[in-house]
Amino acid sequence: MCGIYGIAKSPKPYTRKQSRIAKKVLRHIAVDSETRGSHSSGIASIGETSTIYKSLLPSAKFVDSKEYNTATKSLDKGNNILIGHTRFATEGAIVLNNAHPFQVGRTIGAHNGCVYNIAEMQTQLDKQCPVDSQLIFKSIDTTDNIQDAVKDFDSDFALSYVKDNPNILYLCRENNRPLSVAYVPELKTLFYASEGDFLIDALKKQGIKSEVVKLNKNTLYSYNVGLFGDTKSNVSKTEFKYDSRVYSSAINYYGNRWNDASKYEWEFENYDYVSDEIPEWKNEYDVSDEWQEKQKSELSRIYEGTRPSEWQYDLTEHQWYYIDTEREQLLNEWQVAEIWFGDDDAEQEVMYA
């Protein structure tokens, strides 16, 4: 579970007031995006000279760092695109080099999702890397169009990247990963984030009224900042074919499960999930460490063979996730319960023998 966010602005310089507003909006989006991952943060400043800044700080602290502020100041110095990321680690150690964004050849990008055919892609692309997302950008970098690139994928993905032209931002998503945008004409600026609510909240705080749109699946959106107009972004769209994975439960549903229980198919009506427990909060942004440790111990007791360290709580979805690094899988508790206590013994043997 990761978050991608960012900004693309017209080459026309901001006024001092516009610059201040745009940076405040972006900062708010970055802070909200921490709920999608707090293992590391990063932001890429794109222009004639591009720089990637990475940190092991959670995003709410990263926005106060020298690196983040250097990136945002570049918007006043000729760079027109910033690509941000908050990481929930599923593949690769939690170290600085494994934080997004990544540069692979001519491509700089950030990825939300998981890659399931890592070994196959490493062979096809002749690339070994510690983070599965780097394979995504290797494929994009070595192909001429998005359709050829996604042929290599067996992945959930939402992507933001720049390739060749530092003034064109590319955004796309498949069915299982969300991604929304908002174009603000008075700033001639596009903001994007994994969750539309992040955009709504950030714009509202600055008194900006702008439509927030969820991007269509299997469509590459090309935002050329030189074409940003007084009323619209003049985006170019390219559809591509991609067969997303189908999950038996809502692994990629982003919302409050307590308010939207009808969206779930309950496999075990009488089962008490640990994810159903109301969390104990440390502050308005995070749950208490004591509560997390207690719940991790309970999860490892119920799902015998798992370890407390392999469970992570997702604040956005209000549920627990099991990280199976050996088999390169990320499963929510409902999926784990189905495997442990469901009727499909063969699936359990294959996945967890």
Residue 218 has pLDDT above 50, yes or no: yes
Same domain, yes or no, for 167 and 267? no
| C-alpha span between 81 and 189 (Å, rounded) | 10
Same domain, yes or no, for 284 and 146? no
Same domain, yes or no, for 273 and 322? yes
**Is residue 9 one of the residues assigned to a domain?**
yes
Instruction: Express each pLDDT in 94-144 by its tens digit.
Output: 788 778 899 999 999 999 988 888 788 878 777 777 677 888 999 999 999
Of the candidates 172, 205, 239, which is a domain's last residue? 239
Q: What percent of the chain lies above the pLDDT cut of 70?
A: 86
Same domain, yes or no, for 266 and 231? no
Instruction: Express each pLDDT in 232-274 by its tens digit.
Output: 999 999 999 999 887 644 444 333 322 333 333 333 333 457 8
Residue 122 is predicted with a pLDDT of 77
Reported pTM: 0.72
Same domain, yes or no, for 157 and 305? no
Asked which of 59-63, 268-272, 281-285 is least confident by mean pLDDT, the reply is: 268-272
Residue 347 is predicted with a pLDDT of 44
**Is residue 304 one of the residues assigned to a domain?**
yes
Cis bond before residue 101 (omega within 30° of 0): yes
How many domains in the chain? Answer: 2
CATH (domain of 90): 3.60.20.10
Same domain, yes or no, for 96 and 136? yes
Residue 348 has pLDDT above 70, yes or no: no
Residue 272 is predicted with a pLDDT of 59
| Interval 204-223 mean pLDDT | 94
**Is residue 246 one of the residues assigned to a domain?**
no
Asked which of 99-103, 218-222, 276-280, 290-294 is least confident by mean pLDDT, the reply is: 276-280
Asked which of 65-79, 190-204, 300-314, 336-350 is least confident by mean pLDDT, the reply is: 336-350
The parent domain of residue 321 ranges over 261-352
**Is residue 308 one of the residues assigned to a domain?**
yes
Residue 165 is predicted with a pLDDT of 97
**Is residue 191 one of the residues assigned to a domain?**
yes
Q: What is the mean pLDDT of the chain?
A: 85
